[in-house]
């Protein structure tokens, strides 16, 4: 039972963003299910490389899956999965037929006082049921979205992931993309510049990035929304819309 929680190459590497970049995680128990079956998906709003802190999530506006052209609402399948004092969520569903299942989440806007803005990250991840290799390039139709141009499943460490940043279904020229991985390896960054990588898309909204270590990698294209929102103190503040996709790289052993 859910209770509402309170909110209080085609691209060039251009540098690194400040530490503590926000990423909406949507991480499945596996990116490929050779025999289909159940998959668990965790929704956490956090700083992946640093392993936290975890920010409080309200009940999402929308959670679902697109598979073989059909959309299924999974909001009713969400279960609370708190991490410390912060609310996060989890769902489990069965993938009974072959094809790419594209899970997505639209969270409630999160106000970040330190940055003076609201953040809404439209995040998605692809799970390939029965290792079909089909349907992974389908668009979910999110307001801002990264549509993969290379298959986002079955990737080795060192493979390049390529995608196109879209807004309203159209490419976003020269969009800025932040890149981080979930640092399960305990890797220490030499300094803050290494925590979040930053790349820019080309004139067609296309970018590419080679993943140097294994694990889950998040790509977040950050775009300012057309309309501001009202902060808790009554000010009109900008809204950061993030188009996120998560892909997994397996080690070559």
**Per-residue pLDDT reduced to its tens digit, 233-253:** 999 999 999 999 999 999 998
Q: Which has the closest alpha carbon to 49: 12, 22, 75?
A: 22
Q: How far is residue 203's CA from residue 162's CA, in Å, rounded to a whole number?
A: 14
Is 75 strand, coil or helix? helix
The predicted model gives 89-101 an average pLDDT of: 97
The predicted model gives 106-123 an average pLDDT of: 92
Percent of the residues in the chain that have a pLDDT greater than 90, as a whole number: 87
The predicted model gives 124-139 an average pLDDT of: 97
Q: How far is residue 79's CA from residue 103's CA, in Å, rounded to a whole number?
A: 16
DSSP 131-186: T---STT-----SEEEEESS-SSSEETTPEEEEEEEETTEE-TT-EEEEEE--TT-
> Does position 202 have pLDDT exceeding 50, yes or no?
yes
Task: Check residue 217 and give its pLDDT.
Answer: 99
Is 17 strand, coil or helix? coil
Q: How far is residue 80's CA from residue 84's CA, in Å, rounded to a whole number?
A: 12
Mean pLDDT, rounded, of the chain: 91
Q: How far is residue 22's CA from residue 54's CA, in Å, rounded to a whole number?
A: 9
Per-residue pLDDT band for 6 (boundaries 50, 70, 90) equals: very low
Domain ranges of the chain: 12-250
Task: Check residue 152 and give its pLDDT.
Answer: 98
Give the range among 92-96, 164-168, 228-232 with minimum mean pLDDT. 228-232
Task: Check residue 61 and give its pLDDT.
Answer: 96
Tokens for 17? Answer: 């963003």
pTM, rounded to two decimals: 0.90
SS (H, E, C) 194-229: HCCEEEECCCCCEEEEECCCCEEEEEEEEEECCCCE
Q: State how beta strands 160-167 and 144-148 pair.
A: antiparallel
Percent of the residues in the chain that have a pLDDT greater than 70, as a whole number: 92
Q: Which has the closest alpha carbon to 126: 238, 13, 30, 227?
A: 30
Task: Check residue 253 and give its pLDDT.
Answer: 82
Tokens for 157? Answer: 């460490």
Q: State how beta strands 110-112 and 117-129 pair.
A: antiparallel
Q: What is the DSSP letter of 55?
A: B
> Does position 1 have pLDDT exceeding 60, yes or no?
no
pLDDT for 9-55, tens place per residue?
Answer: 333 333 333 446 889 999 999 999 999 999 999 999 999 999 989 99
Task: Check residue 19 and give its pLDDT.
Answer: 45
Burial class (CB in 10 A: 0-12, 13-18, 19+), 68: middle
> Does position 190 have pLDDT exceeding 60, yes or no?
yes
> Does position 141 have pLDDT exceeding 80, yes or no?
yes
Is 192 strand, coil or helix? helix
Task: Check residue 129 and give its pLDDT.
Answer: 97
pLDDT for 149-187, tens place per residue?
Answer: 999 999 999 999 999 999 999 999 999 999 999 999 999
């Amino acid at each position: 039972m859910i209770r509402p929680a309170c909110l209080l190459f085609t691209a060039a590497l251009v540098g690194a963003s400040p530490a503590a970049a926000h990423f909406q995680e949507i991480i499945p128990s596996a990116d490929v299910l050779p025999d289909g079956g159940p998959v668990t998906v965790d929704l956490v709003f956090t700083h992946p490389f640093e392993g936290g802190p975890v920010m409080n999530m309200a009940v999402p506006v929308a959670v679902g899956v697109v598979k073989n052209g059909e959309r299924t609402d999974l909001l009713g399948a969400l279960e609370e999965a708190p991490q410390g004092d912060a609310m996060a969520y989890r769902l489990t569903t069965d993938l009974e037929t072959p094809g790419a299942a594209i899970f997505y989440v639209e969270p409630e806007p999160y106000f970040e006082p330190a940055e003076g803005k609201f953040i809404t990250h439209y995040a998605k991840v692809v799970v390939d049921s029965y290792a079909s290799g089909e349907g992974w390039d389908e668009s979910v139709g999110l307001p801002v979205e990264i549509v993969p141009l290379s298959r986002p499943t079955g990737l080795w460490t060192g493979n390049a992931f390529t995608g196109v940043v879209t807004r309203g279904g159209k490419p976003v020229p020269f969009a800025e993309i932040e890149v981080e991985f979930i640092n399960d390896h305990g890797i220490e960054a030499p300094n803050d510049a290494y925590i979040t990588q930053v790349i820019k898309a080309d004139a067609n909204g296309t970018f590419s990035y080679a993943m140097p270590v294994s694990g889950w990698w998040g790509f977040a294209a950050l775009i300012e929304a057309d309309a501001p929102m009202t902060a808790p103190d009554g000010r009109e503040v900008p809204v950061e819309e993030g188009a996120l996709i998560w892909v997994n790289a397996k080690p070559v052993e």
